[in-house]
Amino acid sequence: MTRPTNSMSRKPYVFTGNPLDRAAILRKDRSWLAKTCLDKTSRILPLCQLRPLVTLDETPKLSWQPLVELAGMATPGSLVMLGVLDGCSYFSADFSIAVEANQFELAINGGQFEDARGIASSLSSGDAGILAQARSLVDWHLRNGFCSACGRSTEAFDGGYSRTCNSCGAQHFPRTDPVVIMLVCYGEECLLGRQSHFPKGVYSALAGFIESGETIEDAVEREAYEESGITIGNVFYHSSQPWPFPSSLMIGCIAEAVTTLIDIDVEELEDARWFSRAQVREGLGRASWDGESDFRLPPPLAIAYQLALWWVDAGDPFGGQSKENTGV
């Protein structure tokens, strides 16, 4: 079986280039954390409704602000320590309340809030990676102000990487939800589907959350069968991508189909089809969320695009084995 090379070593996907040292030991040191919060060199990335503050110069970039000047405006309990780089500490927090009260604009040094999904592809790989971390962590804090065990209030600790219940003492930690996303192949064709909320003409790889007690391979087989009625044989891992909407890890796989008759679950998919290598190559050329074409792939931001891009040049990743399988 021909396996893909590690594409991550050549060109990072969007959201994968975070350069920060997350300082896992330092962030648990309360005295160090208090000192660095007062350091004039420490910087903070403000978020408003989970939209990052961005400087829209010729090359858009995250708009870092002095932490000591803005910390008091942050939504209580939302401050997170992202990491350290070249001796400077970086933070993020929610500023939605301050923005709504018209306090924020008087304090910042330029920039405007932009939709994270829309701006990510225009940022450097480092900035996009930091954005993924910041958005996921701040969102988690905004959702977990109360204990899931007893319902009482929780307090942030360890630089924002845990919350502890003030009543029962239960500890809570940020979670990442694993999602399998698989390009299902059969000889010179691959299977793509679309959900009803997709823009017209957009088809993508099948995907779904890994359930409790499942392996990656189990989830690929189950999701492919549930959504399209296709039975899966071999599965191999290709690459992964953080997806901070709100906090998932997309686990990209290539899967071998052993049947070809499509029977979609209409609650999951609006349509699913087999596409030839030539068709997919054309769809990649029109890849975008916006457009008028009858068929296109999601933009390069999405790992589905990257899986399809690899497949069109890879030949049959299963060495012709799938061509021998004729069951439908």
Residue 282: the pLDDT is: 96
Nearest to 208 by CA among 253, 244, 169: 253
Average pLDDT over residues 147-175: 96
Average pLDDT over residues 248-256: 97
Residue 11: the pLDDT is: 56
Which residue(s) pair with 206 in the sheet? Answer: 182
Indicate the residue type of 238.
Answer: H
Q: How confident is the model at residue 107 (pLDDT cuts 50, 70, 90)?
A: low
pTM assigned to the model: 0.90
pLDDT above 70 covers what percent of the chain?
Answer: 92
Q: How confident is the model at residue 322 (pLDDT cuts 50, 70, 90)?
A: very low
pLDDT above 90 covers what percent of the chain?
Answer: 85
Nearest to 48 by CA among 108, 6, 124: 108
Domains of the chain: 1-142 (no CATH), 144-174 (no CATH), 176-324 (3.90.79.10)
Alpha helices in 144-237 (DSSP H): 216-228
236 Cβ contact partners less than 8 Å away, ≥ 6 residues apart: 1, 3, 253, 254, 317
Give residue-wise pLDDT tens across range 34-85. Answer: 999 999 999 999 999 999 999 988 899 999 999 999 999 999 999 999 999 9
Residue 230: the pLDDT is: 98
What tokens were used for 35? 């000192």
More confident residue, 276 or 102: 276
Give the integer Cα–Cα distance in Å for 188 and 209. 27
Give the integer Cα–Cα distance in Å for 183 and 304. 8
Average pLDDT over residues 303-308: 96
Give the integer Cα–Cα distance in Å for 234 and 221. 9
Mean model confidence pLDDT for the chain = 91
Ranking 6-20, 220-234, 266-280 by mean pLDDT, the lowest is 6-20
Give residue-wise pLDDT tens across range 194-213. Answer: 999 999 999 999 999 999 99
> Does 168 score more than 90 pLDDT?
yes
Residue 320: the pLDDT is: 59
> Does 270 score more than 70 pLDDT?
yes
Residue 101: the pLDDT is: 86
Give the integer Cα–Cα distance in Å for 175 and 136. 9
